[in-house]
Amino acid sequence: MGKLSIPLSTLKLGQTSNVVHLDVKGLLRRRILDLGIVPGTILTCIGRAPAGDPIAYLVRGTVIALRSEDAGLISVEQI
């Protein structure tokens, strides 16, 4: 049995995960793919805005920020 997949938006500060599925469509999907977020990509949650949105992630050596709503469409497995 595999690990439990969770929405990327639920990662806590400092947690690292592996992308398993993208449930993103249209222009947002293109943006996510252009950022290098594809199945198998390792992401680390490195910060949150004071109100909790957006969330900063370390992806392939680059820091990106995603709205919680968008990050919720990306399924990950915690490492």
pLDDT digits (tens, 9 = 90+) for 28-67: 999 999 999 999 999 999 999 998 899 999 999 999 999 9
- State residue 32's pLDDT score: 95
CA 76/CA 79 separation, integer angstroms: 9
User: Alpha carbon 46 to chain centroid distance?
Assistant: 11
Mean pLDDT of 2-7: 86
pLDDT at 3 over 90: no
- State residue 2's pLDDT score: 60
Ordered by where they begin, the domains of the chain are: 5-78 (2.30.30.90)
What pTM was estimated for this model as a whole?
0.91
pLDDT at 1 over 50: no
